[in-house]
């Protein structure tokens, strides 16, 4: 089932440990054996401020904070916002205090997480707002940055979106290549239903004829209409009414998402919200 609550995304793992692992890899990548530039400086205690240079939905606070704390657990923070909050240009997000050298060394990694995840949340919010007058929900996909799926799917929920499957393990999704390898939609569905009766089963179709095949089968949880025209989506909704939910996907963006939703589809999945990221412009400066 889709996930609406951000924390529910992490119910089977420790969020703190997941964040620590992800941020540690980023710090290792950036610092390597040593921050040679910061080694030239005399260390001192400073105040620093993180500021938004544009409007955005904030996301990634715990990831950003972890970057600093892994270098120095004594760095202190005063956050003026929470994940999911909307901020405006020049708004202060956080004041931090502690070792100047450690703050400088962690700055880029911290801001990278905060900028990227805020970008995902912001783009998600833009699209969700366009659906606010409908009953259609916005879903993400598996088109995420390798190693950052949990983080990006969390960001989607902060922007008001809903999580699709986390990976290949928690939902059966039969796409064109699965169907081709199985020989038919019917055969693919029968095998999937028999082997994984307790998992959701989603079948992707490319035309109305294939949709008709799926609607005659038992065990399917949802049908995904890929690259359907507006007219065909409207017809698909009529045909599937009372039988199973319809998900629309393919070439949908902020220019046509409302029109797609007006067909009555239950879900719209868009890979661009995690794949085509416009990072939010943030700055960190010593006071």
Which residues belong to the active site?
108, 143, 175, 204, 226
| Whether 247 contacts 19, CB under 8 Å | no
Question: CA-CA distance, 127 to 138, in Å (whole number)?
Answer: 8
Question: CA-CA distance, 22 to 28, in Å (whole number)?
Answer: 10
| Whether 98 contacts 72, CB under 8 Å | yes
Helix (H) or strand (E) holding 34: none
Question: CA-CA distance, 217 to 162, in Å (whole number)?
Answer: 27
| Whether 250 contacts 269, CB under 8 Å | no
Residue count (the chain): 287
| Whether 192 contacts 214, CB under 8 Å | no
Of 152, 141, 78, residue with least CA distance to 115: 152
Under DSSP, the state recorded for 209 is H
Question: CA-CA distance, 216 to 208, in Å (whole number)?
Answer: 13
Q: How many Cα atoms within 13 Å fall on the side-chain side of residue 146?
A: 0
């Amino acid at each position: 089932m889709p996930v609406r609550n951000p924390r529910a995304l992490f119910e089977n793992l420790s969020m703190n440990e997941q964040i620590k692992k992800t941020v540690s890899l980023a710090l290792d990548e950036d610092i390597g054996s040593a921050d040679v530039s910061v080694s030239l400086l005399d260390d001192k205690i400073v105040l620093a401020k993180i500021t938004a240079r544009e409007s955005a939905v904030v996301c990634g606070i715990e990831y950003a904070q972890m970057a600093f704390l892994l270098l120095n657990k004594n760095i202190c923070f005063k956050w003026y916002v929470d994940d999911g909050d909307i901020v405006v240009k020049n708004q202060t997000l956080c004041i931090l205090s502690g070792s100047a050298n450690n703050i400088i060394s962690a700055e880029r990694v911290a801001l990278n997480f905060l900028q990227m995840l805020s970008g995902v949340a912001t783009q998600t919010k833009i699209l969700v707002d366009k659906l606010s007058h409908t009953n259609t929900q916005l879903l993400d996909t598996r088109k995420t940055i390798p190693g950052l799926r949990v983080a990006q799917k969390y960001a989607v929920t902060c922007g008001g979106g809903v999580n699709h499957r986390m990976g290949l393990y928690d939902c059966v999704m039969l796409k064109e290549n699965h169907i081709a390898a199985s020989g038919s939609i019917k055969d693919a569905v029968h095998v999937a239903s028999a082997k994984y009766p307790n998992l959701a089963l989603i079948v992707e179709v490319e035309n109305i004829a294939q949709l008709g095949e799926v609607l005659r089968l038992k065990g399917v949880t949802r049908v995904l209409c890929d690259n359907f025209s507006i007219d065909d989506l409207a017809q698909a909704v009529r045909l599937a009414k009372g039988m199973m939910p319809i998900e629309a996907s393919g070439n949908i963006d902020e220019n046509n998402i409302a029109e797609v939703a007006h067909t009555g589809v239950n879900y719209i999945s868009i890979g661009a919200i995690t794949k085509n990221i416009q990072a939010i412009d943030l700055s960190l400066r010593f006071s």
